[in-house]
Amino acid sequence: MRAVRCNEHGLPATLAIETLPDLHPEAGELVIDVKAASVNFPDVLIIQNKYQFKPPLPFTPGAEFAGVVRAVGAGVAGFAPGMRVAAYTAHGAFAEQARVNAADVIALPDNLDFSAAAAFMLAYGTSYHALVDRGALQPGDTLLVLGAAGGVGLAAIQIGKLVGARVIAAASSVEKLAFCREHGADEVIDYAHEDLRERIKTLTGGNGPDVIFDPVGGAYAEPAFRSIGWRGRYLVVGFANGEIPKLPLNLALLKGASVVGVFWGHHMKHEHALAEQEFAALIEWIKTGKLRPVITKRYTLDQTPQALDDMMNRRVTGKIVIEM
């Protein structure tokens, strides 16, 4: 089988495409023929040794994928060769075959194609967990999404609207904000050219948002947090900007606000039963046509380094996938 390999830590151009032996499952595992794999910002970090999880070299990057079960290991129930599935794995998805724990695999509905399935586990799982579980988002709440044109940002817009929130999308260009409006945002903020705090104040009548979804970090975190409403929930989803902000915690006291961490990977590990319930809710939305992951660009396996470079340099919006 062919696979993308990270033989040394570095930028996407250092990755290689290699031919490796076919995979075989251990007990409790599945081997899956990968049909599509999604590209996420942590993939850019992990190949540079900048992510929380640090696999030993050499390794194959890629955290989520969809495909067809090839082989089933001892002790695995509920899966059989030929089944259509999606899976989350910390690494290993950018390859023609992937080996994964059966607990990290879900069966797919027939009306969800492989590319869309590959694109929903991490981004939509993270956003649902963040907004519904950690953020307690309610109908009628105002939700502010930073980095709204990215994969998790777009998922947060879609899920926020399905919950019944009023969604304000913040991004860095007119084109990105038009993309956010196209997919459900009620209001938008161009934080590259507008004063973020003043615009939030105007759009919320001075009350501030109930929930702030922040996968970016960096310079916009503090003004957003200073704008949060009474009993607001600030969801710390990630640091795509590369800078971990120092939030003024006295504001948490003055506004009765909460700073809430969101780490979907550990949620999957430590609260697997709850994560399965969340996926069931997402799958039901997909089955009924209420939710559809948005794929904005598709690459081949050989183009994986370019896909990661495009992600790193923010040349793409929404979700991008590698198709085998």
**What is the domain-level CATH number for residue 114?**
3.90.180.10
- Higher per-residue confidence, 265 vs 158: 158
Same domain? For 165 and 154 the reply is: yes
Q: State the residue range of the domain holding 303.
A: 2-120+293-323
Distance of CA 92 to the CA centre of its chain: 17
Residue 306 has pLDDT above 90, yes or no: yes
Q: Which residue, 245, 264, 283, sits at the end of a domain?
A: 264
**Nearest-CA neighbor of 305 among 10, 1, 58?**
10
| Helical residues (DSSP H) of the chain, grouped into ranges | 41-46, 114-118, 121-128, 151-163, 174-182, 196-203, 221-226, 250-255, 264-270, 272-287, 304-312
Here the tokens at position 255 are: 């506004």
- Count of domains forming the chain: 2
CATH at residue 209: 3.40.50.720
Confidence of residue 89 (pLDDT cuts 50, 70, 90): confident
Q: Is the peptide bond before 56 cis (omega within 30 degrees of 0)?
A: no
Distance CA 101, CA 109 (A): 20
Confidence of residue 308 (pLDDT cuts 50, 70, 90): very high
**Nearest-CA neighbor of 309 among 41, 63, 34?**
41
Same domain? For 113 and 160 the reply is: no
- In the chain, the percentage of residues whose pLDDT exceeds 70 is 100
- Higher per-residue confidence, 89 vs 80: 80
Same domain? For 81 and 210 the reply is: no
Q: Which residue, 264, 280, 303, sits at the end of a domain?
A: 264
Rg from Cα positions in the chain:
20
Here the tokens at position 180 are: 């956010």
Distance CA 22, CA 55 (A): 20
**Whole-number average pLDDT of the chain:** 93
Here the tokens at position 8 are: 């040394």
Q: What is the pLDDT of residue 238?
A: 87
**270 domain residue, yes or no:** no
Report the predicted TM-score, pTM, of the whole model to 2 decimal places. 0.85
Here the tokens at position 110 are: 């027939």
Average pLDDT over every residue of 239-247? 84
What beta strand segments (E) does the chain contain?
2-5, 16-19, 29-39, 64-72, 84-88, 97-101, 105-107, 142-145, 166-171, 187-190, 211-214, 233-236, 258-261, 295-300, 319-323
Same domain? For 111 and 127 the reply is: no
Distance CA 118, CA 225 (A): 33
**36 domain residue, yes or no:** yes
Same domain? For 68 and 166 the reply is: no
**278 domain residue, yes or no:** no
Confidence of residue 318 (pLDDT cuts 50, 70, 90): confident
Task: Give the DSSP letter of residue 95.
Answer: B
